[in-house]
Amino acid sequence: MCGIVGYIGNENGVSKVLEGLSRLEYRGYDSAGISYKENSDLKVVKKEGKLTNLESLVSEIKANAVVGHTRWATHGEVNDINAHPHGNDLFSVVHNGIIENAFELKKELKEQGEVFHSQTDSEVFLVLLTKNFKAEKNIKSAVLKTFSQVTGNSSFVILPRDEDNIYAIKRSAPLVCGKNDSGDQLFASSDPYALIGFVENIFFPGEEILCFLSKENKRVEFFDIEGNPSENYQSDKSRKDLKVETKEGFDHFMLKEIYEQPKLINNIAKIYETEYQELKNIKLEDIETINIIGCGTAWHAGLCMRNMFETELKKKVNVELASEFRYRKPYLTNKDMGLFISQSGETADTIACTELCKELGLKLGSILNVKDSTLNRLCDENMMIHAGQEIGVASTKAFTMQVIVGHFLMRLFQGKNPAKEFEKELEVLKNRVQGILDAPELIKKIANSIHSYKGFIFTGRNKYFPIALEGALKLKEIAYVHAEGYAAGELKHGPIALIDEEMVSICLVGPELYEKTLSNIEEIKARKGKILIVGPEEHDNLEELADWFIPLNFEGFEYFSPIYVNVVMQLLSYYIAREKGTDIDKPRNLAKSVTVE
Ligand code: M6R
């Protein structure tokens, strides 16, 4: 979603802000802009479309104080005016999130004679800030007052005309600050990834803590909402060794990330063996119900965990979509656990559910990838998936690692050592996944044959049902084609009406419930549907049933065969998208991290 980078220092901030914004491109955006100080004036340049459109306009500009933004539209269409920064002669403001009371505030401000130029909620902050400043004559107190008047989860970074400082503040939205060792380069950003290589020190401010980037004092200072100095922030020096990701010879980040999976599978048990051998803060005997909560792919990973949690842990398990759970007034008690799955740890709906569960006294656990995320700070027990930075908007390696770490959690709940328990099966998984990746030709060929069909139905039973959902999500995300996932047994309850010669059914068949799944495929064949079967290489008649067949070796799997099947789905989507010529790493309309509702 929106990306923010602000700079104040003694070097050219324009190039640094543009470089930082380019690293955040993967998060998804539709316009970009910067504001900078020139002599004693604030200038704003912003442009709809890719960052390169902006770069061509500002590449010659040099300035020591700059704020920049990539916008993912929420309020108001995609155009130059709605792009950020929003500025006037006194302030430039960039914003990430949603101002929930923007409509009422705008109405009041208009009644008072204030003028608005854009359709955005963000401009309300600018207008209110300017009004408050004119009354208070003090920037810090005007920023704090304005922030306390707006509701909703947001981060704001403000460049004032009259000071050589930058102000930044957030509520349940990502915001970090950075400083190099000498303090002559200060940054604010929505993501520490934007600051790699620029600073040695990263600061994570607490909620509603004002960050004051002071050029004169060469440091970041922190204040609470009353304006008093605050210690409510965390600092981290370990980020300075991180690297900016490259495609390493692959055509897309997504493909690179798919190919990283064997290495990640190989490493995870070793990491857990040395770092994490027991649950420190949550005990199984204290829990009655486990609520697994996430969005999109993370929700699918949760679905992969449900059966085994219920069978092995003998607990009631709900798997919930965060956007639904937060509003349906679920019955919860302090004997329940909320288990939140998220790659980014910043997904707005997932965070809102975590906060809801925290208020109600539930035990909170997470399965997540980004260490310094909001989710990490909210939960009692965090299980890291160690997938590394995931740049492709379509989540691939994170899903694989979420499902594996979910299994680790199950064993930790049982007081067992997951690294030892899963050592052999992880070895099988790694080798089988490597086998698929080493010989993608069949998948490519099938992608070439099926890419122009009108639609795709993914079916699976039991543990392959979540993979049918995930396969369909991946395909629609990156290939922009209609694809739906169904439980195979549900077809005849409605979706079978869609079957004809123009519809491809991608049928996931495991050794489990084999005969029953085959009957469902027969039903599709009887209606002249096209059929791609992904199923066991040892079989009786799958090739006769199928128009296309991808054989897999299911020997040696107890738990992880869905992950193995899903790698085929990842490659299939990727190669279909290539045939379609879509923007695979940054598909249209999508954002990597959905930080607004
Ligand atoms: O960062 P999160 O795991 O919380 O993100 C959740 C979803 O937004 C995410 O999985 C999304 O569905 C991906 N684009 C799927 O490829």
Let me know: does 37 contact 158? Beta carbons within 8 Å.
Answer: no
Q: Where is 549: in which H helix or E strand? A: strand 548-552
Which pLDDT belongs to residue 240?
A: 60
What is the pLDDT at residue 180? 93
CATH number 3.40.50.10490 given to 439-597? yes
Tens digit of pLDDT for each residue in 80-121?
999 999 999 999 999 999 999 999 999 999 999 999 999 999
pLDDT tens-digit profile of 317-365?
999 999 999 998 889 999 999 999 999 999 999 999 999 999 999 999 9
The yes-or-no answer to whether 3-237 and 439-597 have a common fold is no
Delimit the domains of the chain by residue range: 3-237, 247-438, 439-597
- Residue from 27, 293, 344, 399 whose mutation best tests the ligand 1 pocket (most atoms within 8 A of CB): 344
CA-nearest residue, atom 10 of ligand 1: 297
| b/e 576-593 (16+ beta carbons within 10 angstroms → b) | bbbeeebebbbbeebbbb
Report the pLDDT value the prediction gives residue 203, as an integer from 0 to 100: 95
- Over residues 503-547, the pLDDT tens digits come to 999 999 999 888 888 889 999 999 999 999 999 998 778 888 999
Please pick, among 2, 304, 353, 357, the residue that the annotation labels catalytic. Answer: 2
Residue nearest to atom 4 of ligand 1 (CA): 342
Whether 239 has a pLDDT exceeding 70, the answer reads no
Is the distance from CB of 63 to CB of 36 less than 8 angstroms? yes
Class (C level, CATH) for 247-438: alpha beta
Percent of the chain with pLDDT over 90: 85
Question: In terms of pLDDT, which residue wins out, 95 or 243?
Answer: 95
Q: CA-CA distance, 404 to 362, in Å (whole number)?
A: 24
Q: Pocket residues for ligand 1 (CB within 6 Å)?
A: 295-298, 342-344, 347, 350, 393-395, 477, 590, 593-594
DSSP 8-state class, residue 155? E
Domain 3-237: what homologous superfamily?
Answer: Aminohydrolase, N-terminal nucleophile (Ntn) domain (3.60.20.10)
At 167, is the secondary structure helix, strand, or coil? Answer: strand
- Cα–Cα–Cα angle for 86, 90, 93, rounded to 5 degrees: 30
Atom 16 of ligand 1 has which residue's CA nearest to it?
Answer: 394
Q: Cα(393)–Cα(28) distance, rounded to whole angstroms?
A: 8
What atom in ligand 1 is closest to the CA of residue 350?
4
* Predicted confidence (pLDDT) at residue 498 exceeds the cutoff of 90: yes
CA distance 588 to 597: 18
Whether 2 is a known active-site residue: answer: yes
In eight-state DSSP terms, residue 229 is B
Crossing angle, helix 441-450 and helix 561-580, to 10 degrees?
50
Q: Is 247 known to be catalytic?
A: no
Instruction: Supply φ then ψ for residue 184, to 5 degrees.
Output: -90, 5
Residue to mutate, 26, 340, 343, 469, ligand 1, most ligand atoms under 8 Å from C-beta: 343
Mean of per-residue pLDDT scores for the chain: 94
pLDDT of residue 241: 61
**CA of residue 104 to ligand 1 center, whole Å:** 32
